[in-house]
Chain A
Amino acid sequence: MMKRGLSTLDTECTPVSLFQDRQERLRQVARDRGLDAVFVYGDVSGGGDIAFLTHTTLYWGHGILVIPAEGPTVLVMTLSPRTHDWFRETGVLGEMISGPQLGPLLRQLSIDRDYAAVGIVEQSDFPASMLEAVSDGREVLLVDLGSPVRELRSRPDEAALADVRQTARLGARGLEAALAAAQSADMGRVRADSEYAMRTGGAWDATTVITRSTDNAVAIQLRCQLRDSWYGAERFLRGGNDANPAEAQSLYQEMLRQLRPGTTEAKLLDSVLAFAEARGLSKGMLVDIVLETAPDVEARLVFPETDQGFAEGSVVHAALWGWDLDGYPTTAMGDTFLLSKAGYVRLSNV
């Protein structure tokens, strides 16, 4: 629902020029394609693209980042003007415009600046009514730019990779705390201690989700965010010990054997299911694979480009889940990996 961790701009750690350079790359896209501006939509749950470009977290609510071909970046948002000082302190932004409805704000901005051609990042995921507002009664060319920010984010550069590793360290802190607390039967404590460990380490956000099985085991799903970097991990525990059945562990190992550049979620699932069928495994268990670059992106996309595969250098979260027919978990194993030429490097050792 909202971010609940440290949000501060440390220019020693992340220089302003880093975000200016990233914004400039989109400006260049606009200029190369003859566009007046690029629009990037985000909300509190799916704001990683905007965070990548501006170091801004939409702490609650939603907004649109407007990157003109020339001139300062504008954040159009539903958060009130009272928050502008805070956004200015913690992000790399030019102007801010606030109001209760984004569509009319975006329309007025487009009229004021005489935008005739606009590039839309992930257009299929952009609110339809807002694009309609921009072009209502006006000749505005809307160009779907695909996922240029997502592509940049999924293959982190050196600076971003440092963030990824830091996020993994924070996530590992949370996982260690969760595993320690899971010795007790108090699942509230598992969540509390785990999230506390991540937040006090400086995470932008941290969540530990626990789902009970039917036989006194629990699936723990941990997420940690620092800027636009994410770490995810899953465990299945009973009394603090690994409760994943042996056959599920062999499926997970098969998934890892297939985890390499070029892989996709569908390919991984096919491999695992074929492996299971050949060995007569997983009967009565619904197996699911999750493979994602960053959960904020994947959760928002209704139409993921699943057939492309992840490139070498991508950071992915991969997990194997098992469910019984009533919807209760029977297994959960997952971690965050850097895809390398040889396969993958796991980003934490907890």
Chain B
Amino acid sequence: MSIHAPTDSALLPTRSNTPPPEEFTWRVNRLIRAMAEEDLDELLMYGWPWRPDNVRYLTGAPTIGTSLVRLRSDGSVAALVSSETDRAAILRGGWVSDVTRVRSFTGHHLQGLFDGVRPGSKIGITHLEILPLGLRGLIDEALSAPRLVSATRLADLIRLQKSSWERDRIMHGARVAQDGWNAMLDSLVPGVREFEVVAAVEREIKRAGAEDNFMLIAFGTTEVRAMHAPEARRLRRGDLVRTELTPQVDGYYTQICRTAVLGNPSPAQSRAYEIFQEALEAGISAVRPGTTSHDLAKAQNDVLRRNGLGEYCTPQHTRVRGHGLGMHPDEAPGIQEGDETEIPEGATLVIHPNTFTPTAGYIVVGDPVIVTASGSERLTKADLILPSRTAVTA
């Protein structure tokens, strides 16, 4: 069991949130096509508390323990799980009825899961890169001369393109994220501690129906070079308040990035924010089917470079210019120069040119988008003016 156990998504009172059967068919058919293209005989989704997302994609159910889910090329699915809670969740989901729960995985159990696998089969496993040694040994023991290959990228690319049902979840998540940001603005008073702000935002997001939230923050001025966890530091007038807010609704994370100032913004803060707004707009304008991750990053970095911030587009200061959104808050592709992943229609992304500036410290601004046939649909819009809390008197 994990503290990160996702909530049963049957909680939202006003919307249908159980994935419909046709969603399962859509996913399985696409996975089977991808398996054929990769010449895979079998596909195994490996899930554990940190990364349950591929298992959820295939079963429709949130899981909390260790699980292996087998997809055969005929579309049948079987699951082996370590937690009764997970077995129950998968059964409630209604997509997969062949679920076996065992307290501790053994070779015998895996032989049951792999029933009918031919010797020498080529088997794709998601997250093979992090597969525990013991589990790897059991798989080798249970199968005859298996050819194991990573299916992490395969699953990433399949999940990159969202169904209309999935896109609806992302859109709802954007509204919840905006609610969370509004709650954050309300909580910003001089003297409030960082973790109290986070607690207030989490409360609002949960009230709005989110099952989880990925939230990064950074409070302070020019000394701030990165996001971090909340501490006991009290907010002061002049602090920039930055957050990446990423609520999870019905399994899907949607992210917004926002910066505010406690009090009136300084000229340097205002100027930095204008540059980042321009970079964000450039990135969003570049979104269309067929564009690459590299193109989207370059569009944003070019604005920063033009304004003398090229040094801060490097890994020393920043990571990506956005990323995919879905069942993991930081899905593929990471939007960065050099990544030639093609963006398909139906993908959901957050575009964010976040990085450090010497004049204002770390700045974050970003909005989620859905890739449409003609470009993109923007799900939220960061304020054009750095929002300030002019009423504060600290």
Q: Which residues of A contact B (CB under 8 A)?
A: 1-8, 43-46, 57, 59-60, 62, 80-83, 85-86, 89-90, 101, 103, 123-129, 131, 187-189, 191-193, 195-196, 199-200, 202, 205-207, 209-212, 221, 223-225, 230, 232, 265-266, 286, 288, 290, 292, 295-296, 298-300, 302-304, 306, 321, 323, 326-329
Contacts and interface: CB of A to CB of B under 8 A. Distances in A.
Given A232-B1, A298-B1, A302-B134, A323 B206 contact: no
Interface of B: 1-8, 10-13, 48-50, 64-66, 82-85, 87-92, 103-105, 128-137, 194-196, 198-200, 202-204, 206-209, 212-215, 225-232, 248, 315-319, 329, 356
Contacts of B83: 299
Contacts of B5: 207, 209, 221, 223
Given A43-B50, A200-B199, A304-B103, A207 B4 contact: yes
Q: 4 tightest CB-CB pairs across the interface, nearest first?
A: A124-B134, A82-B226, A327-B91, A327-B88
A266 B103 contact: yes
A187 B8 CA distance: 11
A192 B213 CA distance: 12
Contacts, number: 213
B103 A45 contact: no
Contacts of A192: 202-204, 206-207
Given A44-B50, A129-B129, A195-B206, 10 more contacts: A1-B329, A5-B229, A6-B194, A6-B231, A125-B134, A127-B131, A129-B130, A212-B11, A299-B2, A299-B64
B90 A303 contact: no
Nearest to B318: A82
A45 B2 CA distance: 7
11 contacts: A83-B227, A90-B229, A127-B130, A188-B12, A188-B13, A206-B3, A212-B11, A299-B83, A302-B134, A328-B88, A329-B88
Contacts of A212: 8, 10-11
Contacts of A326: 91-92
B91 A4 contact: no
B226 A80 contact: yes
B25 to A, nearest CB: 21
B129 A86 contact: no
Contact of A6 (B66, B195, B317): B195
B333 to A, nearest CB: 13
A3 B202 contact: no
Which of A2, A209, A265, A329 has the most CB atoms of chain B within a 10 A radius of its CB? A209
Given A188-B209, A195-B206, A328-B88, A207 B3 contact: yes
Contacts of B137: 124, 128
Contacts of B8: 209-212
Contacts of A126: 132-133
A45 B214 CA distance: 13
Contact of B202 (A44, A195, A266, A300): A195
Nearest to A189: B207
A5 B195 contact: yes
A216 B22 CA distance: 28
A128 B136 contact: yes
Contact of B135 (A8, A45, A302): A302
